Amino acid sequence: MPEIAVPLALPHVTPEKKTRSKSKLDSAWLVICWNDPVNLMVYVTHVFQIVFGWKREKAEFHMKQVHNLGKSVLARATMEKAEHYVHQLQKYALHATMEPEE
């Protein structure tokens, strides 16, 4: 059976323009809460529950990480979402930052 030649038509692909801001927006950021020994443990637990909608057990787990280890990664999110979380935590005067995931 003769082979039928199938024309090879590659789609025209325009090289994707990657901008710094686009790639930064898409990459993952870690929302970290750092230990400030002045904050009451009960307060930190409450804030985690409010900001992330967590149950008390999960909020306490992360609060204890902050207390015992000096920091806790609270979320892995896009840049925009991470900024939102950091601002919410800072509204409550917690020491929160966002760092790019290595």
Partner 1 sequence: MKLIRAEKDQFTFGLNQRERELLFQILKMFPLIPPSHHQLSKTGKARPEDQRLLDEAVAEQRGENAKRVQAFLDEPGKFREIQNEIQFSLALAEIEWLLQVLNDVRVGAWLALGEPEEFALPKIEKNNARYFFAMEVSGHFQVELLAALGHDQSNYFGKS
CB 82 within 8 A of CB 30: yes
Task: Note whether 74 and 32 are within 8 A (CB).
Answer: yes
* Alpha-carbon radius of gyration of the chain: 22
Does residue 51 touch partner 1 according to CB under 8 A?
Answer: no
81 contacts partner 1 (rule: CB under 8 A): no
69 near partner 1, judged by CB under 8 A: no
Give me the 16-45 binding string for partner 1, x by CB under 8 A, dash otherwise.
-----x--x-------x-xxxxxxxxxxxx
Please identify which residue in 27, 61, 67, 75 interacts with partner 1, judged by CB under 8 A: 67
Among 23, 27, 73, 100, the residue binding partner 1 under the rule CB under 8 A is 100
The full length of the chain comes to: 102
Closest CA to 46 of 62, 65, 35: 62
**Is 54 an interacting residue with respect to partner 1 (CB under 8 A)?**
no
CA distance 64 to 42: 11
Chain positions contacting partner 1, by CB under 8 A: 21, 24, 32, 34-46, 50, 63, 66-67, 79, 83, 86-87, 90-94, 97-100
